[in-house]
Amino acid sequence: MARDTFYTAVDMGTNKVASIVARVGTEGELKILGTGIVPSQGMHKGRIESIEEAQVAVRSSLEEAQRYIGHGVVAGVYVGVSGTHITCLNTKETVDHLADVDDISTQLLDKLIQSSFPQVTRTQEVVHIIPIGYDVDGMSGVRNPVGLHGRQVQVEAHVVLGDAATLKNTVKAVEASRISVKSLVLQSLASAEVTLTGDEREMGTVLADIGGGTTDVIIYRQGNPWYSAIIPVGGDHLTRDLSVAMRTPFYVAEEMKLKWGHAMPEMVKVDDEVVIPSFEGQPRRIVQRRELSEPLEARIVELLKQILLKMRQAGLRQFPAGGLVLTGGCAELPGFRELAQKTLGGPVRIGYPRGIAGLPTQLQKPAYSAGVGLLLWGIKHQGEKRPYRNGERTLWGNKPLMRWFKRGSKNKKAKVEVG
């Protein structure tokens, strides 16, 4: 008899840790059972700086999520990863002389994908190998070659690598709560799960999840991820610039940004004035809202240029038809979409978590795209066996390459440095 299945996602952001527990019923219906959102600690630019602090934040987030649902249902969590230690590359792997093979089987493709495993250094670990296209006897763009007759099959895969120690720390931060990690998932892939439509993925779209410490960029082409990168700049940089410009502490600047910040000062009324509250003995001050928004605009334009640079590195000269989708907490800043459109051209929209009936209002915000997306990723990829245990490499990482696979033109795109 079919049973309910439970999924848990932990998004360890630079600003907040969000744990979400959900149940998928026998009819396939998804219900969010609990959410735990707590301020993050011990994280810097998507990377763990203090394991003890990170463990405390994750624990309190998981406890909050479980408050009303009991402890039995949380196991095997999907955890997001980000940070400039992440790199990506696209590989090609070929098998030929298939004369003795009747037709192309799922097993053959599995082996082919496993042999796409790149040569990694001892300090690196593979986070994802995602098949993005097949070529059968020279015919490219084959979506699913299973069942076709062919003498030669080639698979192209998008490979995401991370620093082994950093990934191990992420696992350690979660497993300290006596909960095992089922899989680590690139945060931008998770965000794409819930923000991009099928059409956007097909047409090609650039997605940027702009959080507190990082901007996670992923580019889709023909339905699949094609390029991913992490820019170590996020909303905290806007706040820091504002705190310097307004000569206020960070927490005052953060409050000002959230209350009055605008990405396009020219859209703000000329006579709009705001009050900088008194702090640490300083008297309150009145400033023009336009003046307050200027440093935000300057930093955002800088960030948009970096996104453009990543597009260029991916080989794109112009925006794909699906344009640019902005998500993450920072995308909520008024005027962000308009500024992106003006600076970059091409269609721009703000991405919200979508496609889940009954998603609590609290989670219907760009800041929760990665967290909600982790759940959907888990549901889609539940069959995958990716044993992440402290100190162990993945099974795939240890597998020898099969002799009968001919190496194709590896590293079609040069390894892409991020940052």
366 near Mg ion (CB under 5 A): no
Q: Which is nearer to ligand ATP, 8 or 40 (CB)?
A: 40
Q: Which does 59 bind (CB under 5 to 8 A by kind): Mg ion, ligand ATP, none?
A: none
Q: Which residues pair with 230 in a beta bridge?
A: 216
- How many chain residues are in contact with ligand ATP, going by CB under 6 A? 24
328 near ligand ATP (CB under 6 A): yes
Rg of the chain over all Cα atoms, to the nearest angstrom: 23
**CB contact at 8 A, 228 and 307:** no
Cα distance between residue 105 and residue 98, in whole Å: 11
Q: Which does 367 bind (CB under 5 to 8 A by kind): Mg ion, ligand ATP, none?
A: ligand ATP
Q: Among residues 235, 320, 335, 353, which is the contact residue for ligand ATP, using CB under 6 A?
A: 235
10 Å CB burial of residue 239 (0-12, 13-18, 19+) is: buried
- The stretch near ligand ATP (CB under 6 A) out of 90-98, 107-115, 127-135, 326-334 is 326-334
Main-chain phi, psi angles of 178, to 5 degrees: 60, 40
38 Cβ contact partners less than 8 Å away, ≥ 6 residues apart: 16, 17, 57, 60, 61, 64
Q: Which is nearer to Mg ion, 115 or 369 (CB)?
A: 369
- The stretch near ligand ATP (CB under 6 A) out of 14-22, 123-131, 245-253, 301-309 is 14-22
Cα distance between residue 10 and residue 182, in whole Å: 11
Within a 10 A sphere around the Cβ of 47, how many other Cβ atoms? 24
Q: Among residues 211, 320, 323, 351, which is the contact residue for Mg ion, using CB under 5 A?
A: 211
169's enclosing H/E stretch is helix 164-175
Minimum distance, C-beta of residue 309 to Mg ion, in the bound complex (Å): 21
Q: Which does 378 bind (CB under 5 to 8 A by kind): ligand ATP, Mg ion, none?
A: none
Q: Among residues 36, 42, 46, 232, which is the contact residue for ligand ATP, using CB under 6 A?
A: 46
Q: Which is nearer to Mg ion, 228 or 293 (CB)?
A: 228
The helices-and-strands tally (H runs, E runs) of the chain is 11, 19
170 near ligand ATP (CB under 6 A): no
Cα distance between residue 17 and residue 25, in whole Å: 26
Minimum distance, C-beta of residue 246 to Mg ion, in the bound complex (Å): 26
Cα distance between residue 230 and residue 332, in whole Å: 20
Q: Which of 168, 176, 205, 184 is nearest to 320 (CA)?
A: 205
What is the per-residue DSSP string for 322-345?
A: T-EEEESGGGGSTTHHHHHHHHH-
Cα distance between residue 9 and residue 379, in whole Å: 11
- The stretch near ligand ATP (CB under 6 A) out of 25-33, 52-60, 254-262, 393-401 is 254-262
Q: Which does 214 bind (CB under 5 to 8 A by kind): Mg ion, ligand ATP, none?
A: ligand ATP
Minimum distance, C-beta of residue 370 to ligand ATP, in the bound complex (Å): 6
Tokens (6 digits) for 231: 């820019």
- Three-state secondary structure call for residue 69: coil
Q: Which is nearer to ligand ATP, 89 or 296 (CB)?
A: 296
133 near ligand ATP (CB under 6 A): no
**CB contact at 8 A, 225 and 219:** yes
Q: Which is nearer to ligand ATP, 210 or 219 (CB)?
A: 210
Tokens (6 digits) for 14: 């630079």
Q: Among residues 66, 166, 205, 214, which is the contact residue for ligand ATP, using CB under 6 A?
A: 214
- The stretch near ligand ATP (CB under 6 A) out of 196-204, 209-217, 220-228, 287-295 is 209-217
Cα distance between residue 177 and residue 12, in whole Å: 14
Q: Which residues pair with 247 in a beta bridge?
A: none
Q: Among residues 35, 40, 170, 228, which is the contact residue for ligand ATP, using CB under 6 A?
A: 40
211 near ligand ATP (CB under 6 A): yes
Q: Which is nearer to ligand ATP, 322 or 373 (CB)?
A: 373
Helix axes 187-195, 369-380, angle to 10 degrees: 90
| Residue 388, CB-side half-sphere exposure with 13 Å CA sphere | 31
Looking at residues 360 to 419 of the shown chain, list those that interact with ligand ATP (rule: CB under 6 A).
367
Minimum distance, C-beta of residue 204 to ligand ATP, in the bound complex (Å): 24
Q: Among residues 8, 9, 10, 13, which is the contact residue for Mg ion, using CB under 5 A?
A: 13
Minimum distance, C-beta of residue 69 to ligand ATP, in the bound complex (Å): 24
Residues in contact with ligand ATP by CB under 6 A are: 13-16, 40, 46, 82, 211-214, 234-236, 254, 257-258, 261, 328-330, 332-333, 367
Residues in contact with Mg ion by CB under 5 A are: 13, 211, 370
